[in-house]
Amino acid sequence: MNTKDFYIGVIFLSLTGWILLYILKAPTFQVTGPGPFFLPAIAALSIGGLSIALLLQSFKQPRGQAVPKQEKRMRGRIIWIMVWCLIYALIVERLGYLLSTGVLSFALLAYFNRGKWLLNIILSVITPSLIFILFDTLLKVSLPRGWFGF
């Protein structure tokens, strides 16, 4: 069994279930035509069908090769970045751009640039500040302000 394809199939099948559940729970509207959830439903059913096909295909395929140690380490790094990106997406509107980007920069630098605490702190403060000055102050592109107003 190809475990990689199997997990991809499971993830997308779960996504299908979630979308369909969302659509079923959504309030109905008296509208002409198929309604606002017609296309998402079609997309969800297509994703479901293709996921099942992928799952079935994964059973027929031979097992993939063992993951090398280096790749495992790389996966750990990718997961670390993805988790922090997710946290960033959740906190950026609340804490504001400056603070949340500083936190994200420090978290990533602390992981990839271990031991150099002072440099990491300086970079985490200076980089978001410079970007903030360039985009928000000079170019007037509004960046999220958050609870603290910056």
Partner 1 sequence: MEVLDKLLFGFGVALSPVNFMYCLLGVFIGTIVGVLPGLGCMNAVAILIPMTFGMNPTAAMIMLAGIYYGAQYGGSITSILLNVPGEATTIVTCLDGYAMAKKGRAGPALGISAFGSFIAGSLAICGTILFAFPLTTVALKFGPPEYFGLICMGLVILTYLSQGSMLKSLLMAVLGIFISTVGMDSMTGVSRFSFGNISLREGVGLVPIAMGMFGLGEILSDLGDQEKREVLKTRLTHLFPSRQDWKDSKWSILRGTVLGFFLGILPGGGALVSAARCATVTKKRRGFAPKLAGVHRQSKQRP
Instruction: Give the residues lining the site for partner 1 (CB under 8 A).
Output: 8, 12, 19, 22, 26, 29, 31, 33, 35-37, 39-40, 43-44, 46-47, 50-51, 53-54, 57, 70-71, 73-74, 77-78, 81, 85, 134-135, 139-141
Closer to partner 1 by Cβ: residue 118 or 147: 147
Contacts of 45 (CB under 8 A, 6+ apart): 16, 20
Distant-in-sequence, close-in-space partners of 132: CB < 8 Å, separation ≥ 6: 97, 98, 143, 150
Phi, psi (5° rounding) for residue 55?
-65, -45
Question: Which is nearest to 118 in space by CA: 128, 109, 127, 131?
Answer: 109
CB of residue 115 to partner 1, shortest distance in Å:
18
Task: Please state, in angstroms and rounded to a whole number, the distance separating the CA atoms of residues 4 and 8.
Answer: 6
To partner 1, the closest distance from the beta carbon of 44 in angstroms equals 7
Choose between 80 and 150: whose C-beta lies nearer to partner 1.
Answer: 80
Nearer to partner 1, 24 or 43 (CB): 43
